[in-house]
Chain A
Amino acid sequence: NAGVTQTPKFRILKIGQSMTLQCAQDMNHNYMYWYRQDPGMGLKLIYYSVGAGITDKGEVPNGYNVSRSTTEDFPLRLELAAPSQTSVYFCASSYSLVSQRNTGELFFGEGSRLTVL
């Protein structure tokens, strides 16, 4: 069981370049999230999705875009990379909370380390 899979693990970008961070989960989770983590800081929510076709902004959405065409995939797009986007990006997922038996536990990928020079 793969869980949450992120690619690539490492990437170096030049200022102004674009790229997509991939995230896939095989647990049939409705909710998916993108976080960024800067050194010595907690995780900040960039975007989240509660199901296919539904996305919403988190705390720090500027400079990013997302889409959710399937339940399994939640890619994060950086259109014009800036040095301020140098960070470690984490994708996470969980079940929706409709069922009272669901604990709401959050599952994480291994992270994607991005450097913008």
Chain B
Amino acid sequence: KQEVTQIPAALSVPEGENLVLNCSFTDSAIYNLQWFRQDPGKGLTSLLLIQSSQREQTSGRLNASLDKSSGRSTLYIAASQPGDSATYLCAVRETGGFKTIFGAGTRLFVKA
């Protein structure tokens, strides 16, 4: 059974700092891995999607990497801003493609 874990559960950093959020999964047979952002009381916004054949994806100040063999993904946020404060969720889509399994998320607070 696929399990997705995100560490840390919460993180507080000063503005301008570069930071890394971690995601690990137990079964390397994945179709893709998707990072989402969720603001309090809101829905999920897709940030980056990495296909199983890819190693990384970049969008602006965000970079996501994937290492299937070790069951890990990282989300790197450069020059963090207070507007980056949110919960970041990692989700793994199983090979076969029907189900996507979510981690519990990392709650990020960027202090001005």
Contact = CB atoms under 8 A, between A and B. Distances in A.
Nearest to B107: A40
A105 B105 contact: no
Interface residues of B, number: 24
Given A104-B32, A105-B49, A42 B43 contact: no
Interface string A68-108: 00000000000000000000001010001100000111111
A106 B89 contact: no
A103 B51 contact: yes
A61 interface: no
Contacts of A90: 43-44
Contacts of A50: 98
Interface string B51-81: 1000000000000000000000000000000
A104 B51 CA distance: 9
A55 B18 CA distance: 43
B100 A105 contact: no
Contacts of A97: 31, 97
A24 B100 CA distance: 19
Contacts of A33: 100
